[in-house]
Each structure stands twice: as C-alpha cells, then as structure tokens.
Amino acid sequence: MAKRVFADMKLRQKMILVSVVSVALVWIACVGAASSSITEIYRKKLDHIIHQTVEQTSRYVNTEYQNIINLAHYSAVDEGLQGVLTLDVANDRTDYIVAQSVIVPILTQIQLRSEFIDSMGLYLKGTWFYGDNYSMNYDISQRMEAAQSRFLIYWSEEQVLNEGTGNMVLPIIMRIPNGSFSAKNEAYMVININADRMFSYLESLETSLDCYLVIHRDQKVILGDEYLFQHRGDAGYVANANTIHINDWTISCIMDRNLLFEDLNRAMQKMVAVSLAVLFCCVFLAMWVAKTVTNPIYSLMQKVKEFENGDFTVRSHLRGKDEIGELGQSFNSMCTQIEGYIAMLEEEKRQVARVEENKRKAEMRVLQAQINPHFLYNTLDSLYWYSISGKKDEIGQIVVDLSQMLRIGLSKGSEEISVEQELKHVENYLRIQKVIFSDKFDYEIVCGPDVGRYRIVKILLQPLAENSMVHGFADMESMGRIRVRAEIEGSEMVFRVTDNGCGFGSGASSHKSPYSGYAFKNIEERLKLHYGGDAGIRVTSIPYEETTVEIRIRLERMEG
C-alpha cells in the first residue's frame, strides 16, 4: 500500500518527502551523538582557556616587574651613583647638593622608562631623595625595617595610598650595595608601583572571562576577593593557579562551577534551536529545489528579460547536461562576450584619460626641472670661490639656505606648496645672493594676511627674483632693491616682484610683454597648465625706477 502511494506521487512531492525524511534522520543522529560528549569537550576547552589565560597573565606581570627591577639594577651600578653613596649628605650641605644632582636625575629617568612606576625615592644615611618632585607621603618606616632584614630586595604585599600622587601603590625596596655592605654606608631605593595601572589588565580579563583573579603569596591576598580565595577549594568553585617567578607571588583564577554548567546548558539549548532551524530550512530548501527542477524554462526567460532591460551582468544558473542546460550555457557565453566588449570600451576610455593626465604631470615636472639646475650651478660656483678665499661663515650661510631651498623644492614630490613656503623659498634664494653680492642690493619679503591657507604650484617667484638679479641689476654696482609681495585682492591672489633695475625698456607696458629667455615662458606655461588660461604674468616697467612682474590667480583654484 505504501509503495503504491509513493509511486502515485508527483515528482515535486517525492523530492520533498525524501529530503525531509533524510534530514530528520540525520538531525536525530547528530543531536544524540553530540549530547553524549559535548559536556566533556566544553569543560576541557574552558579549562584550557583558563589555564592559558592565567599563564599569560602571570607572564605579563612577571615581565613588567622584571623590567622595572632591571632598570633599578642598572641604575644601582652606575658609577655616578656609587660615587655619592659615601658622601656625608646628612651633615655636609655641599655633599647633599652633589648627591641630589646625581640621584634625582637617575630616579627621574627610571620613572620615565616605565609607565607603571608611580614615584621613587632613595634613602641614604637618614636622608631622602625623590624623583620627579613626588614625595612618598605614607609611613615607610615599617617597610624599611623589613627591607633591612632581607639580603637585597623586599616586596611589599599590602597596597598603600601615596598621598603625594593620590594613587594606590605597592612599594618595592631594594638594597643598593656600595661594596662594603656596612650599615653606615648602605642605601635603599624605594620604587612605588601604581597598583591600579599594573593590575588593570587583570580587571579586564575578569570581565571578559567572567571569573575572579586573585594575586596572593601563600595565604596572604595581595589583590582580589579574599573570601573567594579562602573558599576556592569548595565544591562550588573551580580554581587554576600559576606562579609569578620574580617575587614568588601566585595568580589564581576562580570560577563559579554553576556558571560553567549554565553556559553549557545555554550552549545545548542554542544547539537544539539551531538544529531545528536547519531542519526547517532544509524543508523549505527541498521545496525550492523541486520548484526549480520543474520550472527551468521560466527561470531562463526571466534572465533574458533582465538582459533586455540592460543588465549585462546577468547569468543563468542552469548547469545541467540536457537541452535546457546547454541553452543556459550558451546564454551565459553570449552575455560574457557582450560584457567583455563593453568593458574593453570603458578601459580604452580610462587609458586615454590616464595618458592625458600623465602628459600633464610630465609637462609640469619638465617645466620645474628647467628652473632648478640654472640656480644650482651659480650657487655651487659661488661656494667654490668662497672656499678658495676661506670665507667659512659665508659658506655656512649659503649651505643652510641652499638646503632649505632644496627641501622646499623637493617637498616630498608634491607639485604644490603653501604660499608661506613659496615666500620662504624665494627668501632663501635672496639671502644667498645677499651673501654673495652684499653691497649690490637689498630685498624685502611682504606676506599679506590670510594667505597662509592657500597653496600654489612651487617655484614660481624665485625665477622672477633671479631675473631681477641677473638682468635688472646687470649694469648696476649697488643700490639695487627687490621687493616680493603676496596679498589677496578681491577674489584673486596677487604676487608682485618689484625692482629698480634697468627694466624692459619702452616696449614694456601694462600689457603682457614678449619676454626673452625661458624663465618667463616657463612660469607662464606652468600657470596655464595648473590654473587655466586666465592665469598669467603682467609686467609694468619704468627703467631704473620701478619694474613690477605681477601674477594673478583666482583664489577658488588655490584652496586646499
């Protein structure tokens, strides 16, 4: 009877029934197997995590303490410190000042090299010296007595409030030998560890692990809940411990056993819920598979419509070996070819844009490179003659200004620099020329308000100042004047380089002049490349009175 009923079912119904039965059987088997072993696996994994965490924590605390002790040991053998240990600091004011000048910097340096040191002090012959002007405002006498009975170092096991800094501290007292170990000459270094900062790492671990961390020495609790520590062996708790080797302290991790089983039960509930969700998803998946098997043609028609609407990335998911599967693969091949042709056209457009951009950048670099060598040759030639004549001060001034010019000129590869840097660049140039031609000219740099937030393509003004030097003052022995100004006028940034040289003759007017030489052409080409056709140079000239080269750039193109 059952066989006949199954045979009479439709294909979609058969697929759904087989899928549901198969998934249900697998689900029952998996849940049964998991419930028998998950408790032990969970406990072992958690124990491993706790043990690893406690071990890493003890290693962390041990390392930080070891670093602090190493700093103190290295300072204790310092020759300067050993030299002042025998001074009579208690009775001789001069000895006290000498000792203070040696001890206080050492203590301060130790504090600066460790973030966990709250304050430090050094006790020498009844006299205290403190690092970084922080005193230890708590009763240290009992701890000093305990430290004297130890051979080298005493670890305090009780936190105390240092009123000088307002922090809870754990003192460490180190004996500093000077060779004789006599009570009269012996010194002690007190290192106050900021307990809150040192053990903040442990507090974060407590929160993340939902456990309790206790630092103790034998039965003495140094940090943590003393009640939990005393009851850690009870049946309701699980404890794990590790030793901090540098001071024989111990870190114990204590967890409530009920929390372990609570998490386990919660995990089991989640597992059952997830498995049920998977079961229902499989049922719906079986229905979806049956539907896709019976309706492949409809799916392919939908893809064709999407392609007609302009979605060239659409693909058919039919991968069968029957006629419909082959049709779907042919459809995918057609879509891939068309999409490739479109991508090829877009890539060609991007290549053209990149070529044009690279061309523009290459032109900018070539134009800039035309300027730098010309001035560099002249400066190096001047340095050569100064070196022959033995003028060391002038050589030093030229080298400093030249290095600043080169640094601004390189500007880490950037094409633009701030207006202030551009003015600094031309000022370095004029200062070099002033050293070389001390009596030939004077100069002035004027920077208007609010120009500092604007940027400009670099090395524009220096060639204009150089033109004034080389051409404007060519037949003048002295009394030359150069003035460089940068100021905002309305919606434009205006740069003016003015001199009282020979000028451009009667052919120069308020209109653009037919400049000679590459400097002016170079600057004009760079301005047009970077700021457009409305940026350029204008010259006005009255020979031997005032010749001004003016550059105007719209502010909106200089922002940034």
Residue with the larger pLDDT of the pair 1 and 76? 76
Q: Indicate the SS3 state at residue 316.
A: coil
Mean predicted confidence (pLDDT) in 139-151: 77
Mean predicted confidence (pLDDT) in 191-197: 87
Residue with the larger pLDDT of the pair 439 and 43? 439
Six token digits for residue 374: 């010309």
Is residue 536 within 8 Å of 527, Cβ to Cβ? yes
Highest mean pLDDT among 109-118, 290-299, 360-369: 109-118
d(CA 101, CA 84): 10
Handedness of CA 319, 323, 328, 333 (dihedral sign): positive
Per-residue confidence (pLDDT) for residue 513, from 0 to 100? 41
Strands (E), 448-491: 455-457, 480-489
> Mean pLDDT in the chain?
78
Instruction: Please check the confidence at residue 263 and state whether its pLDDT lies above 90.
Output: no
Q: What is the pLDDT of residues 499-552, one digit of tens each?
A: 998 887 644 333 344 444 566 777 888 888 888 888 888 899 898 889 999 999
d(CA 187, CA 199): 29
Residue with tokens 């693909």: 315
pLDDT band at 361 (very low <50, low <70, confident <90, very high): low
Instruction: Give Cα separations from 193 to 38, 197, 293 (angstroms).
Output: 44, 8, 73
Residue with tokens 């029934």: 17
Per-residue confidence (pLDDT) for residue 481, from 0 to 100? 93
Question: Minimum mean pLDDT among 74-78, 81-85, 424-428, 503-507: which range?
Answer: 503-507
Q: Indicate the SS3 state at residue 349.
A: helix
Per-residue confidence (pLDDT) for residue 509, from 0 to 100? 38
Mean predicted confidence (pLDDT) in 172-182: 72
Question: Minimum mean pLDDT among 190-199, 299-308, 439-448, 504-513: which range?
Answer: 504-513
d(CA 213, CA 222): 11
Mean predicted confidence (pLDDT) in 149-176: 83
CA-based nearest residue to 195, from 126, 117, 273, 280: 117
Q: How far apart are the first and last CA of the chain?
A: 85
Per-residue confidence (pLDDT) for residue 215, from 0 to 100? 86
Give every CB contact of residue 482 below 8 A, 6+ residues apart in sequence. 430, 441, 442, 443, 444, 465, 468, 469, 497, 498, 499
Per-residue confidence (pLDDT) for residue 549, from 0 to 100? 93
d(CA 50, CA 30): 29
**The length of the chain, given as a count of residues:** 560
Instruction: Please check the confidence at residue 176 and state whether its pLDDT lies above 80.
Output: yes
Mean predicted confidence (pLDDT) in 318-330: 71
Question: Minimum mean pLDDT among 3-17, 176-190, 394-408: which range?
Answer: 3-17
pLDDT band at 424 (very low <50, low <70, confident <90, very high): very high
Q: Hey, how many other C-beta atoms are within 10 angstroms of the C-beta on 477?
A: 9
Give every CB contact of residue 113 below 8 A, 6+ residues apart in sequence. 71
d(CA 102, CA 142): 27
Per-residue confidence (pLDDT) for residue 141, from 0 to 100? 80
d(CA 166, CA 195): 12
> Would you list the DSSP string of 105-160?
HHHHHHHHT-TTEEEEEEEETTEEEEGGG----S--HHHHHHHHTSSSEEE--S-E
pLDDT band at 345 (very low <50, low <70, confident <90, very high): confident
Per-residue confidence (pLDDT) for residue 508, from 0 to 100? 39
Per-residue confidence (pLDDT) for residue 213, from 0 to 100? 82
Question: Minimum mean pLDDT among 134-148, 372-386, 411-425: which range?
Answer: 372-386
Mean predicted confidence (pLDDT) in 251-261: 75
3-state helix, strand, coil in the chain (%, to 5): 55, 20, 25
Interstrand relation of 167-176 and 187-194 (parallel, antiparallel or unpaired) = antiparallel
Six token digits for residue 558: 């200089």
DSSP 469: I
Is residue 240 within 8 Å of 252, Cβ to Cβ? yes
pLDDT band at 498 (very low <50, low <70, confident <90, very high): very high
Instruction: Please check the confidence at residue 344 and state whether its pLDDT lies above 80.
Output: yes
Mean predicted confidence (pLDDT) in 17-31: 70
Give per-residue burial for 207-232: e unless 16+ CB within 10 Å, then b. Answer: eebebbbbbbeeeebbbbeeebbeeb
Instruction: Please check the confidence at residue 100 and state whether its pLDDT lies above 50.
Output: yes
Instruction: Please check the confidence at residue 190 and state whether its pLDDT lies above 50.
Output: yes
Mean predicted confidence (pLDDT) in 71-77: 84
Is residue 129 within 8 Å of 103, Cβ to Cβ? yes
Phi, psi at residue 481, to the nearest 5°? Answer: -135, 135
Q: What is the pTM of this model?
A: 0.42
Give every CB contact of residue 228 below 8 A, 6+ residues apart in sequence. 212, 214, 237, 254
Instruction: Please check the confidence at residue 497 and state whether its pLDDT lies above 90.
Output: yes
Mean predicted confidence (pLDDT) in 307-332: 73
Instruction: Please check the confidence at residue 487 and state whether its pLDDT lies above 80.
Output: yes
Per-residue confidence (pLDDT) for residue 227, from 0 to 100? 78
pLDDT band at 407 (very low <50, low <70, confident <90, very high): confident
